[in-house]
Amino acid sequence: MTAQLNEDRKAAKRAALRALPTERREALAGILFVLPDALGLLVFIGLPMLLAIGMSAFEVDGFGGFRFVGLDNYARMAADPLFWSALRVTLTFALMAVPLLYVIGLMLALLVQKTSRFNTAMRFLFFAPQVVSLVVVALVWQLMSVEKIGVLPRLIASLGLGSVSFLGNPHVALFTVVLAFVWFLMGFYMLIFIGGLQDIPKEYYEAARIDGASRAQSFWHITLPLLRPTSFFVLVVSSVAAVSGQQAFDLVYVMTRGGPANATLLLITYIYQQAFQYGAFGYASAMATLLVLMLMAITLAFFWATRGGRFQYE
Amino acid sequence: MNKAPAPPVYDGQQRIVRLILMVITAILGVMAIYPLLYMLSISFKPPPEVFRSNVVPAQPTLANFFYVLTEVPFWHYLANTFIVSSVVTVVALFFHTMAGYALARLRFPGREAVFLAMLSTFLVSLPVIIVPLFAMVRMMGMVNSWAGLIIPSIFDAFGIFLLRQYYLSLPRELEEAALIDGAGYWRIYWSIILPLSRPIVSTLAILFFLANWNSFLWPLTVAPQSDLWVVQVAIANFKSQYSAAWNYTMAASVIVAIPMLVVFVIFQRQIMDSIKTTGLK
């Protein structure tokens, strides 16, 4: 009885819904379906982004008090030698890491793009570092860099290049972190490039071969231009990773904490320090705002350089 | 390597080039995997052997693992990580499949704008917003709580994007038949779309679980209390506590890495294929 009644009520509700014009029903369903994610992204990414911009105009004390200071935090940035140093380190890091990742990722992809059992095994080896956490990666590279007894210094010594301190020497430490960063991420970009390479129609290469083009020529005139969408993606994503990503943060946090002599102090590391060690939330937010502006500029530059990441058809 | 039918004409020179390329690839492959082997090797070495260069330990021992698992509440940290990763993965996939379905298949005002806004969050990485995010989460009273660890980690545009692309490629006929039969949109999502998305959902489940298992910065910031530590935070602290004892640190690292390496070995084809298609399509 009750079951029947329930069924009836449900049917009535369904009928009422169906009475709505189909378009309205579809729109209502669509909005309700995206709502949880849309709200979540808004609250946990959008809002913090806006808050960062807002907070950059305030001085925040440890007791939750706010004081409006206008552009003072930005002025403080300009006068802070450590900020300039961190900015320089961040740019150096990105200028080393992004091209290296692009070239190595593409090179590995070209080496193993054809499907064979050997290549599948090799893809597996190149991708394996990705599976391990950055904390563990950082620890392993730290161990490999231990002065005199780690693998890296011993390798250099056995090549007759003398003793190098990989994490102790300010001139080398940043490069060591870049090395670990590139090692960690290269398999990911290799896969992305393989996907891009497989999208290039084979006919183009055949046509080029018939016209007598060399391998190098078809690489420059077919592969690279047709890889533009992939290149755009790789350049933007790797720049975000290098300039403000968790990857760079995690590595530096565990490997060097920014040392020696602030040689590996990235902007994001400095922001974290200012916020969570000194409670300077306003100042940290000002630097974060600048970081986002930088990333937008970088993305636009890559968008322009890869022609909007579009294929270029004749 | 495998004896696939060779192309008809293959002059010797080309074969040599191929062989050289394979040797180079193999050398690079060994170099790529070397640091992981090194970690594994140290984890089995007794202290006096740690900095000797032999890759295969002369006197392999399980003592390091025993120490880490018995003297440190490592099981506790593993359990914490497991709970956080599982809950985030399940809830995220539930929300993301719904959003992906709506963005791909349902027409509603503002759909393109919503999609673009979601996509643009790709540019905003956690370190950039961590200060205000932490402030907000503190205001909500979620510092040092499961909610603080879990809820902010759920929302990430990457999964929504991939699912939307997948749903765009499904044939429309299935839904149309269901609509004519009088099924509502929820019904279509639950009994048609979800079962159809099993392959991509299982791949994403692995990727999300992996990402959360390995996440460090957010748990470090939001849950400094040690009974809420996840393994990555525990291991970073472990290192500063036992700075000289690399054998313990590497054993702990191996314990943390092994489950994910196993998952990866089992599902590597799926994972790799899904990543291959992310590169903007």
Residues B219-239: pLDDT tens digits? 999 998 889 999 999 988 887
SS3 for B10-56, per residue?
CCHHHHHHHHHHHHHHHHHHHHHHHHHHHHHHHHCCCHHHCCCCCCC
Q: Rounded to an integer, what distance in angstroms lies between the CA atom of residue A80 and that of residue B88?
A: 40
Report which of B195, B200, B189, B177 is spatially closest to residue B278, judged by C-alpha positions. Answer: B200
What are the pLDDT digits (tens) for B53-109?
777 888 888 989 999 888 888 899 999 999 999 999 999 999 999 999 999 999 999
Q: Rounded to an integer, what distance in angstroms lies between the CA atom of residue B196 and that of residue A307?
A: 36
Whether A5 contacts chain B with CB within 8 A: no
Structure tokens at B143: 């510092």
Q: Rounded to an integer, what distance in angstroms lies between the CA atom of residue A168 and that of residue A141?
A: 13
Alpha carbon A105 to its chain's center: 14
Identity of the amino acid at B83: I
Asked whether the beta carbons of A157 and A115 are under 8 A apart, the reply is no
Higher pLDDT, B155 or A245: B155
- pTM confidence score: 0.88
Angle at CA B192, nearest 5°, toward B189 and B198? 95
- The helix-helix angle for B12-43 and A170-198 (nearest 10°) equals 130
| Portion 154-213 of B in contact with A at CB < 8 A | 154-155, 157, 160, 182, 184-186, 189, 210, 213
Length of chain A: 314
ipTM of this predicted structure: 0.87
Report which of A17, A28, A36, A45 is spatially closest to residue B100, judged by C-alpha positions. Answer: A36
Taking an 8 Å cut-off on Cβ atoms, the answer to whether A27 and B108 are in contact is yes
Three-class DSSP category at A256: coil
What are the pLDDT digits (tens) for A240-296?
899 988 899 999 999 998 889 899 999 999 999 999 988 888 999 999 999 988 888
Q: Rounded to an integer, what distance in angstroms lies between the CA atom of residue A288 and that of residue B127?
A: 8
Taking an 8 Å cut-off on Cβ atoms, the answer to whether B1 and A254 are in contact is no
What are the pLDDT digits (tens) for B48-67?
888 887 778 888 889 899 99
CA-to-CA separations, A28 to A22, A165, B57, B185, B193, in angstroms, rounded = 10, 63, 64, 10, 18
DSSP secondary structure, A12-79, as one string: HHHHHHHHS-HHHHHHHHHHHHHHHHHHHHIIIIIHHHHHHHHHTTEEE-TTS-EEE-TTHHHHHHHT
Q: Which residue is associated with the tokens 């490039």?
A: A193
List CB contacts (< 8 A) between A250 and chain B.
216-217
Residues of chain A scoring pLDDT < 70: 1-5, 13-20, 61-64, 308-314
Q: Rounded to an integer, what distance in angstroms lies between the CA atom of residue A165 and that of residue A273?
A: 26
Q: Verify cis geometry, omega within 30 degrees of 0, for the bond prior to A170.
A: no
| Portion 210-239 of B in contact with A at CB < 8 A | 210, 213-217, 221, 232, 235-236, 239
Taking an 8 Å cut-off on Cβ atoms, the answer to whether B185 and A26 are in contact is yes
Report which of A45, A286, A251 is spatially closest to residue A136, judged by C-alpha positions. Answer: A251
